[in-house]
Chains A and B, each alone.
Chain A
Amino acid sequence: MNTRKLRVIIPVALMVAIGVGFAFNSGIGTLSAIGWKDISLLCPLGALGTMIASKTLIPQAVVSLVLAVAAILLLGRAFCTWACPVPIVGKLRDVFKKPARAEDAGATADLEADGASPAKARAIVAEEHAVARAQTPLTPAEKKALKGGCASCGSLCASQPATFDSRHFVLGGALLSAAIFGFPVFCLICPIGLTFATIMLVMLLFGGGDVTWSLVAAPALLVVEVLLLRKWCANFCPLSALMSLVAKGNRTFKPAIANEVCLETAKGATCDLCGAACEVGIDVRHPERGAAWSECTKCRACVEVCPTQAITMPLLPKRSASASTLGSFDEEAETAR
């Protein structure tokens, strides 16, 4: 089953449900404090911010934090794919952008016309790319990097994701600013809050005739954060930082590769489609190369892109699957057999 469309439909449905709930005074709240009437699950960052700023222990906030940690341990950053409205807002960028890699799309279309399955066609195109890359002469920078080893490479290594990145600074800044200024500063500019604020302000404008400049300011700030600043989620979002920190303890629903079917281990082919499909930069086949597993948003893109259906997301890791993350696939191929 392809979940590509579901990844848009589910967050949009959630936004619609919250909008309808707002229209009918239902008391389900927004994602900042979702629940029923006086029982709410607070946003973990909001819960921390409000307790730090008001210097009070709020029982509902503490309970929400505990539940949030439990949910993240079980599901990792699944919220980012399956509930958060920000990636949906980010998709508006594609509306203004001309379709990228039209050449590839054309190539896959040609192959598909020849009778190959879409996944297979993509695999072939990917392989062609790999061959092309191997044939291009090295750039001076690459040559220098090869000569001097890792210490001298700079730019090449910089492309590798760090364990501690800019989001963690923003997370620290969000908590620190709440303490210094005495109010949850980040909540004022949170794009999730701004998305729902925009929906509500529009509804209030047409429902109650409430005219305000907030109606311009809220979406404008949202556009700046999500559309103009590139990669909000990867570079700035403190919630994603918080979730990835907790998700270091996540072991469930982790993508696992069946080496006996994977093109690379079974046939020695170069594929790397799973790594290319991952939106947070995890290289599923070679986890040591890309982002950490704690970044996984459980979006299933790798599962679906795999031409041989070798990737699954089991509830609990299997023994052989856990070995695959160590990168010693010779040994592992044997155990798989």
Chain B
Amino acid sequence: MTDTEERTGAAPEARRRPTLTRRGLCLGLGGMAALAAVGSVKYLGDTPVVRPPGGQDTEALLSACIRCQKCTEICPRDVIVPSHIENGILGTRTPALNFAENYCNFCAEENGGVPLCAAVCPTGALAAPPTPAEETVVLGLAEVNTDWCLAYKLIGCRFCYDACPYEAIELDEYNRPVVIEDTCNGCGACEAACVSLENGSITEGATARAIVVVPPSEN
């Protein structure tokens, strides 16, 4: 019995663990410093990008987005992409719109006009916009680059004009597209339809399509 007593008596002594080792302290402080460095990318500045419906308040989006990519995944038209690192480290992997293949119809067909991206966002980074979203949300504004636009070379291209679902593009006296700023909501149908880049020999030096959606100006 004395043996048992000795053991139980010695046990608490042996079980005591150091509260914190020096190595742990160094690694931990290093980790905290690294996080502070990552946090300070906030002050590097970001290039504004076109956000999905409900993400127009960039500051609110960045403060809530956990970069879970759920909006990217759910988008039935695959127009939401993780924002590129080229647009700033702070916004990397937060949702941005890419109209290369398709445009945003605010889920009019797929979900009765309630954007699925905002509906599935678990943190409210994409705040559900008032419905119908296509009338209340301005994603951005389409801009024509007259140097690259085929119509401005008097070729008679009018793909963007035909694609616009909101009649926000009119043709001038030479049949060249002009964006009606008050009507355009930045859905990207014109950009998705633009063929200027596929005609490289004509629009030499072009790095983007001749009509692109730019983020809404801050004012």
| Chain A positions near chain B (C-beta within 8 angstroms) | 21-22, 25-30, 32-33, 35, 37-38, 40, 42-43, 46-47, 49-50, 53-54, 56, 58, 60-61, 64, 157-158, 160-170, 172-174, 176-177, 180-190, 193, 196-197, 200-201, 204, 207-210, 212-214, 217-218, 235-236, 288-289, 292, 326-328, 330-331
B29, A169: Cβ atoms under 8 Å?
yes
Q: A162-B18, A193-B67, A288-B14 are in contact. Are A186 and B4 (CB under 8 A)?
A: no
Expressed in whole angstroms, the Cα–Cα distance for A193 and B70 within the complex equals: 12
Q: A40-B70, A162-B24 are in contact. Are A177 and B36 (CB under 8 A)?
A: yes
Chain A residues positioned under 8 Å from B27 (CB to CB): 165-166, 169, 235-236
B69 CB to nearest chain A CB (Å): 6
Expressed in whole angstroms, the Cα–Cα distance for A197 and B22 within the complex equals: 35
Q: Is the C-beta of B129 less than 8 angstroms from some C-beta in chain A?
A: no
Q: A22-B73, A166-B31 are in contact. Are A204 and B85 (CB under 8 A)?
A: no
Closest A residue to B89 by CB, please name it.
Answer: A188
Residue interface mask B8-22, A partner, CB < 8 A = 1: 100100110111111
A200 CB to nearest chain B CB (Å): 6
Chain B residues positioned under 8 Å from A176 (CB to CB): 32
Chain A residues positioned under 8 Å from B31 (CB to CB): 166, 169-170, 173, 236
Q: Which of B11, B89, B123 contacts A50 (CB 8 A)?
A: B123
Closest B residue to A28 by CB, please name it.
Answer: B73
Count the B residues whose beta carbon is within 8 Å of the partner chain — how many?
A: 65
A186, B35: Cβ atoms under 8 Å?
yes
B28, A169: Cβ atoms under 8 Å?
yes
Expressed in whole angstroms, the Cα–Cα distance for A212 and B87 within the complex equals: 10
A213, B85: Cβ atoms under 8 Å?
yes
A327, B70: Cβ atoms under 8 Å?
no
Contact sample, A vs B, 7 pairs, CB 8 Å cutoff: A25-B73, A40-B70, A46-B68, A60-B122, A166-B24, A166-B27, A331-B8
A208, B36: Cβ atoms under 8 Å?
no
Q: A50-B64, A162-B17, A168-B28 are in contact. Are A214 and B84 (CB under 8 A)?
A: yes
Q: Which of A61, A163, A167, A189 contacts B122 (CB 8 A)?
A: A61
Closest B residue to A326 by CB, please name it.
Answer: B11
Main secondary structure of the interface of B (DSSP, over half): helix
| Chain B positions near chain A (C-beta within 8 angstroms) | 3-4, 7-8, 11, 14-15, 17-32, 35-36, 38-42, 60, 62-70, 72-76, 78, 81-82, 84-86, 89-90, 92-93, 98, 100-101, 116, 119-120, 122-125
Of B3, B7, B39, B78, the most chain A CB neighbours within 10 A belong to B39
Q: A169-B29, A213-B86, A331-B4 are in contact. Are A56 and B64 (CB under 8 A)?
A: yes
Q: A38-B119, A166-B27, A213-B84 are in contact. Are A183 and B38 (CB under 8 A)?
A: no
A38, B73: Cβ atoms under 8 Å?
no
B73, A163: Cβ atoms under 8 Å?
no
A30, B66: Cβ atoms under 8 Å?
no
Main secondary structure of the interface of A (DSSP, over half): helix
Closest B residue to A334 by CB, please name it.
Answer: B4
B70, A54: Cβ atoms under 8 Å?
no
Q: Which of A46, A167, A197, A212 contacts B86 (CB 8 A)?
A: A212
B141 CB to nearest chain A CB (Å): 22
B78, A208: Cβ atoms under 8 Å?
yes
B63 CB to nearest chain A CB (Å): 4
Expressed in whole angstroms, the Cα–Cα distance for A210 and B24 within the complex equals: 41
Of A30, A42, A173, A218, the most chain B CB neighbours within 10 A belong to A173
Expressed in whole angstroms, the Cα–Cα distance for A21 and B20 within the complex equals: 43
Expressed in whole angstroms, the Cα–Cα distance for A32 and B8 within the complex equals: 45
Expressed in whole angstroms, the Cα–Cα distance for A173 and B72 within the complex equals: 29
Closest A residue to B119 by CB, please name it.
Answer: A38
Q: Which of A28, A56, A190 contacts B124 (CB 8 A)?
A: A56
A181, B17: Cβ atoms under 8 Å?
no
B82, A200: Cβ atoms under 8 Å?
yes
Chain A residues positioned under 8 Å from B23 (CB to CB): 158, 166
Closest B residue to A182 by CB, please name it.
Answer: B63
Expressed in whole angstroms, the Cα–Cα distance for A1 and B95 within the complex equals: 44
